[in-house]
């Protein structure tokens, strides 16, 4: 009989990073089942559509302005029902979201072993990123199999006492997703950029959504954006804005009426990748985008105080600039004016993977199940 593996995920980045694992399992002797929590709704569906994934279970959890405690308790309750009514040989979760933590916990309660994709990322600061740093650590404890993307992530897990024989360094599955998307995309998309109103050859692509940046830090970055636009009269900024009202309130208030800022709803993955490909520079507090950008040769300024991705800093593909107005302005201007600095960042090697992470995860599961 085929082994049955449940993949639990619910937000946009988890869907991007689990899609290639699902597609690889589909090609294997294992039978995958997608349990979409729909912690995100529209932003999840965009990814499911692109990769042609139809969830076997859709918990439709999302509520507007959901709190962490309420989200967690509803997730546990609904996932528990699925695990009572169905049997699985293993569960896969990805990263550090609330869906991931609740999924690992419920799977553990049902004595179904958990495999943690993108294991071992750490900032060692429990409030940054909040609550993700704790979700990752809890997943480390709850999981039986660990798939750290890099040697550094593996070292973090060994430091915490996890047995090396249960750790498999795979690379990050986001690179698999990115390469799949680049391979499968139709002709790209000057017309899409035109429709968006992008006329400048030099534009900055930016995103910002993390909880610890809500309010003042985000406002400071928006002020820095206005400074940058003042200093560089020929550039445009394109900013797909997360659907979280806590983010939209600040971004639209600060940048809503600037004629060289294009604010959009979250973009589907394919057009988003095409915008990354042609951008001059990326400003973001996103984890996934930091991992993807170096494969497209795009320098990234990370709008955060801490990072769980030191590999990017060591490789020189990203700089950690935080949310200080002056620092964001200075680093951006330096990349606009110093072509040596720019090309060093643009040509550095991507340390996050080679596009074969999903293959390695499936191989490992075939061995252990
Ligand atoms: C979550 C993850 C974060 C990840 C981010 C990716 C947790 C604790 N955080 O944060 O690690 O980086 O997703 O984007 O799991 N909303 C919509 N439609 C959508 C998605 C969100 O309207 O498709 C709005 C809703 O009002 C929702 C709110 O955004 O309540 C917040 O969503 P939530 O998943 O709780 O938090 P994120 O900040 O997205
Ligand atoms: N992304 C997307 N459309 C957008 C913005 C981002 O498809 O408008 C993709 C991006 O390429 C990456 C993922 O979403 O694969 C990152 O998600 P997000 O920044 O929400 O979460 P994080 O990675 O920070 O957890």
* Tens-place pLDDT, residues 148-168: 999 999 999 999 999 999 999
Predicted confidence band at 203 (pLDDT cuts at 50, 70, 90)? very high
Residue 88 lies in a domain: yes
Q: Is 36 exposed, middle or buried (0-12, 13-18, 19+ CB in 10 A)?
A: buried
Q: Are residues 97 and 64 both part of a single domain?
A: yes
Q: Are 321 and 360 in the same domain?
A: no
Residues 25 and 112 in one domain: yes
Residue 132 and residue 255 share a domain: no
Q: Do the domain assignments include residue 80?
A: yes
Ligand nearest to the CA of 38: 1
290 in a structural domain? yes
Residue 159 Cα to chain centre, angstroms: 25
pLDDT at 179 over 90: yes
**Active-site residue, selected from the candidate residues 211, 248, 258, 364:** 211
272 lines ligand 2 (CB under 6 A): yes
Residue 290 has a pLDDT of 97
Beta bridge partners of 32: 5
Domain that holds residue 234: 189-346
Please write the tens of the pLDDT for every residue from 80-98. 999 999 999 999 999 999 9
Rounded CA separation 346/338 (Å): 12
- Mean local confidence (pLDDT), 109-129: 98
- For residues 291 and 300, give the distance between their C-alpha atoms in angstroms, rounded to a whole number: 10
Residue 65 lies in a domain: yes
For residue 189, name the pLDDT band (cuts at 50, 70, 90): low
pLDDT at position 182, please? 86
Task: Report whether residue 280 contacts ligand 2, using a CB cutoff of 6 Å.
Answer: no
Q: Is residue 295 part of a domain?
A: yes
Quote the pLDDT of residue 186.
52
- Give the pLDDT of residue 329: 98
127, 306 Cβ separation under 8 angstroms:
no
**In the predicted structure, residue 188 carries a pLDDT above the cut 60:** no
Cis bond leading into 129, ω under 30°? yes
Q: Which of 14, 118, 212, 308 is catalytic?
A: 118
Same domain? For 105 and 70 the reply is yes
Strand 90-94, strand 203-207: pairing = unpaired
Same domain, 342 and 362: no
Alpha-carbon span 300 to 205, nearest angstrom: 10
H or E stretch at 106: helix 98-109
Give counts: helices (H), strands (E), the chain: 16, 12
245 Cα–ligand 1 center, Å: 10
Q: Does a structural domain hold residue 177?
A: no
* Residue 178 within a domain: no
Whether 168 and 193 share a structural domain:
no
Q: 82 near 89, Cβ under 8 Å? A: no
Q: Which residues pair with 319 in a beta bridge?
A: 301
Both tokens assigned to 344: 């060093």
* 266: in domain: yes
Given a cut of 80, whether residue 187 has pLDDT beyond it is no
Residue 242 sits in a domain of what CATH number?
3.40.50.2000
Average pLDDT over residues 315-343: 98
Task: Check 116, 209, 210, 309 and give the catalytic one.
Answer: 209
Contact 130, 212 (CB under 8 A): yes
Q: Please indicate whether residue 198, judged by its CB atom, sits closer than 6 Å to ligand 2.
A: no
Q: Which secondary-structure segment (H or E) carries 140?
A: helix 132-142
How large is the angle between the packed helices 98-109 and 132-142, nearest 10 degrees?
20
16-45: pLDDT as tens digits: 999 999 999 999 999 999 999 999 999 999
Asked whether residue 157 falls in the same domain as residue 197, the answer is no
Determine the pLDDT at residue 192. Answer: 78
- Tell me if residue 330 is catalytic: no
Residue range 328-357: average pLDDT?
Answer: 97
What pLDDT is recorded for position 201?
Answer: 80
In this structure, the number of other CB atoms found within 10 A of the CB of residue 233 comes to 7
CB of 286 within 8 A of CB of 262? no
Q: Are residues 28 and 166 part of one domain?
A: yes
Q: Are 34 and 55 in contact (CB under 8 A)?
A: yes
Residue owning the nearest CA to atom 1 of ligand 2: 269
| 79 shares its domain with 112 | yes
Q: Which ligand is nearest to the CA of 129?
A: 1
Question: How many domains would you assign to the chain?
Answer: 2
Lookup result for tokens 């997943």: 139
Please name the residue whose Cα sits nearest to atom 17 of ligand 2.
13
How large is the C-alpha radius of gyration of the chain? 20
Quick count: other Cβ atoms within 10 Å of Cβ 348?
Answer: 17
* 66 token code pair: 């959901």
Between the CA of 51 and the centroid of ligand 1 the distance, in Å, is 20
**pLDDT band, very low/low/confident/very high, at 184 (cuts 50, 70, 90):** confident
In a 3-state reduction of DSSP, which class is residue 145? strand
Indicate whether 78 and 157 sit together in one domain: yes
Per cent of the chain over pLDDT 70 is 98
Do 343 and 324 meet the contact criterion of CB atoms below 8 Å apart? no
User: Quick check: bond before 86 cis, omega within 30?
Assistant: no
pLDDT in tens, 272-320: 998 999 999 999 999 999 999 999 999 999 999 999 999 999 999 999 9
Residue with more model confidence, 65 or 194: 65
Query: Do 262 and 331 sit in the same domain of this protein?
Result: yes
């Amino acid at each position: 009989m085929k082994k049955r593996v449940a993949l639990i995920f619910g937000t946009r980045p988890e869907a991007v990073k689990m899609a290639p694992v699902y597609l690889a399992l589909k090609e294997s002797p294992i039978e995958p089942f997608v349990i979409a929590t729909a912690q995100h709704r529209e932003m999840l569906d965009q990814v499911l559509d692109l990769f042609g994934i139809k969830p076997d279970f859709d918990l439709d959890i999302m509520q507007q302005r959901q709190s962490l405690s309420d989200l967690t308790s509803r997730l546990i309750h609904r996932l528990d029902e699925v695990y009572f009514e169905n049997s699985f040989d293993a569960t896969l979760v990805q990263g550090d979201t609330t869906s991931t933590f609740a999924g690992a916990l419920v799977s553990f309660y049902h004595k179904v072993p958990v495999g943690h994709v993108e294991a071992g990322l750490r900032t060692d600061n429990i409030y940054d990123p909040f609550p993700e740093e704790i979700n990752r650590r809890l997943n480390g404890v709850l999981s039986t199999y660990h798939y750290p993307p890099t040697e550094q992530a593996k070292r973090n897990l060994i430091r915490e006492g996890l047995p090396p024989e249960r750790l498999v360094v795979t690379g990050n599955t986001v690179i698999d997703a990115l390469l799949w998307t680049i391979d499968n995309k139709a002709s790209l998309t000057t017309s899409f950029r035109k429709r968006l109103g992008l006329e400048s050859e030099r534009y900055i692509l930016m995103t910002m959504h993390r909880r610890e940046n809500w309010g003042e830090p985000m406002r400071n970055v928006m002020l820095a954006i206005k400074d940058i636009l003042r200093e560089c009269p020929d550039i445009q900024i394109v900013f797909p804005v997360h659907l979280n009202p806590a983010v939209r309130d600040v971004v639209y208030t600060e940048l809503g009426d600037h004629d060289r800022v294009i604010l959009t709803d979250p973009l589907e993955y394919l057009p988003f990748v095409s915008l990354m490909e042609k951008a001059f520079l990326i400003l973001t507090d996103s984890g996934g985008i930091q991992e993807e950008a170096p494969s497209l040769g795009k320098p990234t300024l990370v709008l955060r105080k801490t990072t769980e991705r030191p590999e990017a800093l060591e490789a020189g593909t990203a700089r950690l600039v935080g949310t200080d107005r002056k620092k964001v302005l200075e680093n951006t201007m330096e990349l606009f004016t110093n072509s040596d600095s720019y090309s060093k960042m643009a040509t550095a090697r991507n340390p996050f993977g080679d596009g074969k992470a999903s293959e390695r995860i499936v191989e490992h599961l075939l061995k252990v199940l």
